[in-house]
Amino acid sequence: DAGVIQSPRHEVTEMGQEVTLRCKPISGHNSLFWYRQTMMRGLELLIYFNNNVPIDDSGMPEDRFSAKMPNASFSTLKIQPSEPRDSAVYFCASSSQGVYEQFFGPGTRLTVL
């Protein structure tokens, strides 16, 4: 199994630009999570999907952030417009129903100048 796949691995953009992060969960997993990791705030859950449906988005910082999961094998996290304080490592993770172990992707390191 290839594991959770994220792209791009690194993204450098300028303030005000739109950023789209992509995730392919492990085949057969029906739970998907987006996390943000910073030195100041640690590892924060942004949004949780189950069977492609958003279950909890209370961690999404503000309306500039949106996430979609159009099918079981693909999810996106979009930031529009991006700001310097959005600079962080964004992880996608997936897990199986009833099995709580989460498998993390390699992350996307986002730098907003």
Partner 1 sequence: GQQVMQIPQYQHVQEGEDFTTYCNSSTTLSNIQWYKQRPGGHPVFLIQLVKSGEVKKQKRLTFQFGEAKKNSSLHITATQTTDVGTYFCAGVRGGNMLTFGGGTRLMVKP
Rule CB under 8 A: is residue 95 a binding residue for partner 1? Answer: yes
Residue 2 interacting with partner 1 (CB under 8 A): no
- The correct pick among 13, 45, 68, 81 for binding partner 1 (CB under 8 A) is 45
**CA distances for 4 relative to 32, 70, 93, 103, angstroms:** 10, 17, 7, 7
Rank residues 65 and 91 by Cβ distance to partner 1 and give the closer one.
91
- Which is nearest to 76 in space by CA: 52, 55, 101, 103? 52
Least CB distance to partner 1 at residue 37 (A): 9
Beta carbons within 10 angstroms of residue 77's beta carbon: 24
Q: Which of 45, 48, 47 is nearest to 29 (CA)?
A: 48
Question: Whole-angstrom Cα distance, residue 39 to residue 16?
Answer: 23
Q: Is 33 one of the binding residues for partner 1 (CB under 8 A)? A: yes
For partner 1, the closer of residues 27 and 80 by Cβ is 27
Q: Which of 50, 66, 76, 87 binds partner 1 (CB under 8 A)?
A: 50
Q: Which residues bind partner 1 (CB under 8 A)?
A: 31, 33, 42-45, 48, 50, 55-56, 91, 93, 95, 100-107
